Amino acid sequence: DADVTQTPRNRITKTGKRIMLECSQTKGHDRMYWYRQDPGLGLRLIYYSFDVKDINKGEISDGYSVSRQAQAKFSLSLESAIPNQTALYFCATSDPSGRATGSYNEQFFGPGTRLTVL
């Protein structure tokens, strides 16, 4: 099945460390997104990419960077992790045409990475 995968699924790190979260997809979608989920705050967009050469900041990009290595791969980096970056991180993909599902811009989410910064 076409899927969205994230690695690692869980990560504990220390303040000041550099960490990379990886996302891969086999859906053939051009659009990819990174979100963080915090209790009571919902899902907030960190970065998004509409194709390999297109990278855009979301609403909470400070402290994060991304790399779109290929259509299928989109990585999120924390250059110097801090405790308030402790959260659940999700990668998502979409096909805005909705041809496959009939739903405009349906986003398909990976299983998430639980990151703890001590």
| Residues engaged in binding other proteins (CB under 8 A) | 4, 31, 35, 40-45, 48, 50, 58, 90, 92, 94, 96, 101, 103-112
Q: How far is the CB of 87 from other proteins (least distance, A)?
A: 13
Nearer CB in complex with other proteins: 20/45: 45
Q: How far is the CB of 67 from other proteins (least distance, A)?
A: 20
Strand pairing partners for 73?
A: 24, 70
Q: How far is the CB of 33 from other proteins (least distance, A)?
A: 8
Enter the tokens of residue 33: 């997104």
CA-to-CA distance for 92 and 40, rounded, in angstroms?
20
CA-to-CA distance for 82 and 114, rounded, in angstroms?
14
